[in-house]
């Protein structure tokens, strides 16, 4: 009987390993080299204000610090051939992004005479259902920034996926580097709202819209970055165009537009976003971005709506419910 148990345990272990290898395409514990993102080139109209030093502190619970990565396939993130130290990297590139937009910020090494930004949670979850499906990542951040009005919550959330064709290395840039770059840009945009509330010009909005509208075919793949820039630009003139892009045929354009409605706090689009989230016809990712946008708008109405959605799914354990709970936890 004892021998049978040993064989059973060994067989179970082998099945688990084979399943992981099938899911990962032999990428189990593969290294994920992290690259520095390129800063934006959209300058803001900034009123004369004094230089602001930003101090970033890793204020995560011990359990969260130990779980930067989670999900279906174990992987190792590295930077300059060393284990990836995520919080200093995000601090550095968030400040670089803000400076590139013309915002008067510097990165402080001490909290004295600086605005403190507390990183409450940073997490990257991956998922793959089988060896032929997309490899998907969900990259999220929750932080608190000190303001004269008290602490303010700041979040970011990006979903990306890629089907590897020739090699599993193909997933690294689309599902790790691109989302981390977008995370620093969304973080920078929201810190700007809290600290300066500067914006790109109306002419810049119109130029971006024209560029997006002229993209077609192969160009559509990169158009989503310009759609995000409309959200990061903090100019409400972009809202009507973002509503149009929210039903775009290209999924990344669509997700960028829906997310950007929240970043711009488009309170006049709450009903539209609720309808989008409640739709049974759309994809989960579209509904997820609508929920994120409602969280970013952050009114009494949207907060109550998010509480209602939590109550509806809190006892569910299916994957989509768990992913939705992760988004809700950023705001509740």
Which helix (H) or strand (E) segment is 302 a member of?
helix 300-313
Same domain, 36 and 129: yes
Q: Which of 171, 198, 225 is at the close of a domain?
A: 198
Q: Which of 140, 167, 198 is at the close of a domain?
A: 198
Answer whether 120's CB lies under 8 Å from 141's CB. Answer: no
Same domain, 190 and 330: no
**Cα Rg of the chain (Å, integer):** 21
Answer whether 134's CB lies under 8 Å from 77's CB. Answer: no
- What is the pLDDT at residue 282? 78
Same domain, 229 and 315: yes
- What is the pLDDT at residue 280? 82
Q: What's the token pair of residue 308?
A: 């209602």
Same domain, 23 and 171: yes
- What is the pLDDT at residue 217? 60
Same domain, 300 and 207: yes
Structural domains in the chain (count): 2
Distance between CA atoms of residues 99 and 44, nearest Å: 10
- Tell me the pTM: 0.90
Which regions in the chain score pLDDT beneath 70? 1-28, 48, 216-221
Give the CATH number, domain containing residue 168: 3.30.160.150
Same domain, 83 and 183: yes
Same domain, 113 and 229: no
- What is the pLDDT at residue 49? 77
Q: What's the token pair of residue 204?
A: 């810049």
Q: Which of 136, 165, 198 is at the close of a domain?
A: 198
Q: Which domain holds residue 135?
A: 1-198
Give the CATH number, domain containing residue 271: 1.25.10.10
Same domain, 37 and 124: yes
Same domain, 84 and 96: yes
Answer whether 141's CB lies under 8 Å from 64's CB. Answer: no
- What is the pLDDT at residue 218? 54
Same domain, 124 and 134: yes
- What is the pLDDT at residue 10? 44
Q: What's the token pair of residue 22?
A: 């099938």
Answer whether 245's CB lies under 8 Å from 257's CB. Answer: yes
Same domain, 159 and 25: yes
Same domain, 165 and 234: no
Distances (CA, A) of 90 to 122, 148, 189: 10, 24, 14
């Amino acid at each position: 009987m004892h021998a049978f148990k040993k064989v059973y345990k060994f067989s179970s272990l082998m099945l688990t390993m084979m399943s992981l290898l099938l899911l990962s395409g032999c990428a189990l514990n593969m290294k994920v080299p992290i690259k520095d993102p390129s800063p934006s080139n959209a300058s803001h109209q900034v009123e004369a204000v004094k230089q602001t030093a930003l101090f970033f502190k890793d204020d995560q619970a011990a359990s969260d610090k130990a779980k930067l990565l989670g999900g279906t396939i174990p992987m190792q993130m590295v930077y300059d051939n060393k284990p990836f130290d995520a919080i200093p990297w995000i601090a550095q590139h968030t400040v670089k992004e803000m400076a590139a937009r013309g915002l008067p910020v510097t990165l402080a090494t001490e909290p004295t005479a600086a605005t403190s930004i507390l990183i409450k949670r940073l997490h990257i979850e991956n998922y793959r259902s089988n060896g032929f499906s997309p490899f998907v990542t969900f990259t999220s951040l929750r932080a608190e920034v000190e303001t004269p009005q008290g602490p303010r919550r700041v979040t970011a959330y990006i979903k990306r996926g890629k089907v590897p064709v020739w090699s599993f290395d193909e997933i690294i840039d689309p599902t790790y580097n691109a989302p981390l770059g977008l995370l620093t840009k969304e973080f920078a945009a929201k810190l700007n709202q809290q600290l300066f509330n500067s914006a790109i010009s109306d002419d810049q909005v119109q130029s971006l819209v024209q560029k997006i509208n002229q993209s077609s075919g192969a160009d559509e793949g990169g158009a989503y970055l310009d759609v995000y820039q409309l959200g990061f630009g903090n100019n409400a003139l972009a809202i009507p165009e973002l509503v149009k892009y929210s039903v775009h045929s290209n999924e990344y354009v669509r997700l960028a537009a829906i997310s950007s409605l929240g970043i711009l706090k488009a309170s006049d689009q709450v009903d539209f976003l609720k309808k989008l989230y409640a739709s049974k016809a759309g994809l989960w990712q579209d509904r997820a971005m609508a929920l994120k946008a409602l969280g970013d708008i952050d009114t009494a109405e949207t907060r109550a709506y998010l509480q209602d959605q939590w109550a509806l799914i809190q006892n569910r354990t299916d994957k989509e419910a768990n992913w939705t709970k992760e988004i809700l936890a950023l705001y509740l």
